[in-house]
Amino acid sequence: MDVNKILKIRQFKAIDLEEENGEVLIIGELQETEKSCPYCKSLIVKPHQYHPKRLRTVPFNGKPTYLVFSHTAYLCNACGRRFLERTEFFEKQRVYTIAYEEYLWKMAKKQDIENVAKSEGLCWDTVNDIFLKVRRKAEKTVKPE
């Protein structure tokens, strides 16, 4: 079974799959991320620091599932500023993938937010915040007639 085909995340390549304490850990690496300096647009950058990242994603086999990888901070040789490589599948300073946020939103549309929070092991506020965020995003993409 190819985990990458199931995940369908272009910028993440799964290398290993582990189960630990009832959770599924998909260990991988980022690929094809945006590495140009967002401040001066220079392409002359070098890796500066590596940050371990653990993102919650859509459950696999009914178990809480996490993507585990290293997120690289770069240093721009042109302007001297630091920045994180940019990705499409999660937003800055978030601990959930966009796919997981959309999964929670779909669940919360069908049932009570409290039930979604309990079934996913999250607090009500977290699920509610995600629900409102994704709903606002969905409303923006719907064009009025």
Token pair in block for residue 112: 């009570």
pLDDT of residue 145: 56
Does 37 lie in the same domain as 58? yes
Res 90: pLDDT: 95
Q: Which pLDDT does position 138 carry in this prediction?
A: 84
pTM score: 0.87
The answer on 41 and 86 residing in a single domain is yes
List, in sequence order, every residue forming a beta bridge with 45; answer none if it has no partner: 76
Q: What is the mean pLDDT of the segment spanning 84-107? A: 94
Number of H helices, E strands in the chain: 4, 5
Mean pLDDT over the full length of the chain: 93
Q: Are residues 47 and 110 in the same domain?
A: no
Separation CA 129–CA 46 (nearest Å) = 36
Are 16 and 79 in the same domain?
yes
Confidence of residue 1 (pLDDT cuts 50, 70, 90): low
The answer to whether residues 50 and 20 belong to one domain is yes
pLDDT tens column, 24-71 = 999 999 999 999 999 999 999 999 999 999 999 999 989 999 999 999
pLDDT at 46: 96
Q: Report the C-alpha gap between 88 and 11 in whole angstroms.
A: 8
Q: Residue 136's domain spans which residues?
A: 96-145
What total of structural domains would you count in the chain? 2
132 contacts 140 by C-beta, under 8 angstroms: no
Residue type, 63: K
